Amino acid sequence: MCGIVGIVGQSPVNQAIYDALTNLQHRGQDAAGIMTEHEGQLHLRKSNGLVRDVFQQNHMLRLRGNLGIGHVRYPTAGSASLSEAQPFYVNSPYGICLAHNGNLINAEELKRLLLESDRRHLNTGSDSEVLLNVFAHELGRLSGDGLTPDAILGAVEAVHRRCSGGYAVVAMIIGFGLVAFRDPHGIRPLVLGSRKTAQGPERIVASESVALDALGFELDRDVMPGEAVFIDTKGVVHRREYRNGATYSPCIFEFVYFARPDSVIDRLSVYKTRLRMGESLAAKILRLRPEHDIDVVIPIPDTSRTAAVQVAHELGVKYREGFIKNRYIGRTFIMPGQDERRASVRRKLNAIDLEFADKNVLLVDDSIVRGTTSQQIIAMAREAGAAKVYFASAAPPVRYPNVYGIDMPAASELVANGRSVEEIQEIIGADWLVYQDLDDLVQAVRHESATIEAFDTSCFSGEYVTGDVSQAYLDRLEVARADATRAKRDARVLREERDGRGDDDAMQAAGGL
């Protein structure tokens, strides 16, 4: 999962893009990048790390211009290479830079066609670079008589015909303006906003509305599935929509976990959807255990808080904050390796013993993915003195890979894959485990003001909305992920051995050995 933003301003946009990325930091903590354009010249800064660490004052001063895009990233295939930090750039035609959130299903086929037929070179293994080159090729093909809004929108339409998967994109064409588009199913989110200035209108596109709020932009609407939006340097908006029979099916996991609760995406308040998740989860608990002995409801910070408050209210029991979070440790789900996730849990959370001592505790989390975090948190609750530890997931069992841009491509890593609820309960060490039902989750997220036809629920149901995710594709992903994990582990071992030798050599030189 990644966060993207693009701004067409009447004054320098570097600070606004920085602030927007800070508000999207929850979507990726591996790398960050900003690219701006000023008088036909591009200015770029990108590196691994958090937004606050990547951009220092000297970098910001060099990011000149009234037009720019930004990106925060976490790797969806195990790689954390600086070479794959975004935005990406190609100089033909016109000069285009692009930032992307999502994942292309047919990336390997597109790579082959780009090399063999389109005669375009790729520098990385990123599907974002693939998408950029597909767009660049189609734009060059359609703009033979000069670049026009119709040619730009037509190039995006061609991208939709060639690319399959979940994607939201912002791109910048030097000297012309900003392009934004979303896959025909609307799997990944993208919103459009504006604000008025004395110099004229300013426009913004971003992954979530929360990026607009702090900057004083008004949320105009969502970029619709299959829609292409071109905003010229004067702020004039041109649009075209391409659906080709695709259903409007945003990823439901955005509402479960990824999106910030103060965001509105696809005309749905994330906060209200999570309240309704808590209501339906509590209703299931009361159906299964009307005479429950729960003393207190405690959330796993932070994403589950909204649902947990409502669970406690519906059950008529106390809600307490039993875990204190160290906010300087990243979100464990989006850390690139299992070792990092496992090691970070106890550094990240600390239990308040008096909230657990001799109590029957219901822990509420947004979801259970790999189970490692849940297992350790339950152990912490017992160490803090809990008499019994019950566990409730506001989402159904995650049994299948998500292939549209969320880092869970290997079924073997999912604790619920091929296991019953009772087996999962035993693995994580809970006295009782309850999951949200999928129908209840869909009903909790759905709202009458939204025009959504369905949701992508693939990680729960195994049904992929693009219709082209085969078992062979999933098997290839699992092998690639395993190879990446081994390579990363081997690199860490070599680094540790090298560092160990360096310490010994230094001590010997100082007479310490």
The residue length of the chain stands at 513
Which residue is associated with the tokens 């049904």? 463
Given 2, 97, 163, 459, the catalytic residue: 2
> Under a CB-based contact definition with an 8 Å cutoff, are residues 447 and 271 in contact?
no
Which of 403, 71, 406 is CA-nearest to residue 258? Answer: 406
For 391, the token pair is 């566990």
> Under a CB-based contact definition with an 8 Å cutoff, are residues 426 and 378 in contact?
no
- Is the peptide bond prior to 261 cis by the omega test (within 30 degrees of 0)? no
Torsion of CA 353, 354, 359, 365, to 10 degrees: -60
Residues 6+ apart with CB under 8 A from 413: 338, 370
Which of 224, 222, 226, 206 is CA-nearest to residue 214? Answer: 206
**Distance between alpha carbon 40 and the CA centroid of its chain, in Å?**
32
Which of 240, 225, 236, 235 is CA-nearest to residue 153? Answer: 240
Q: How far apart are CA 355 and CA 346, in angstroms?
A: 18
φ/ψ bin of 141: left (φ > 0), alpha (ψ from -120 to 50), beta (otherwise): alpha
* Strands annotated E in 234-322: 237-241, 264-265, 268-269, 296-299, 318-319
Any catalytic annotation for residue 163? no
Which of 323, 326, 320, 408 is CA-nearest to residue 371? Answer: 408
| Strand pairing category for 218-222 and 388-393 | unpaired
Q: How far apart are CA 349 and CA 354, in angstroms?
A: 15
Handedness of CA 64, 68, 71, 77 (dihedral sign): negative
Torsions phi, psi for 364 (to 5 deg)? -115, 125
DSSP 88-128: EEE-SSS-EEEEEEEEETTHHHHHHHHHHTS-----SS-HH
Q: At what angle do helices 149-162 and 127-142 cross, to 10 degrees?
A: 130
For 310, the token pair is 């409502």
**Distance between alpha carbon 478 and the CA centroid of its chain, in Å?**
20
DSSP label at residue 224: P
By CB atoms closer than 10 A (0-12, 13-18, 19+), residue 21 is buried
| Strand pairing category for 432-435 and 388-393 | parallel
Which residues carry out catalysis?
2
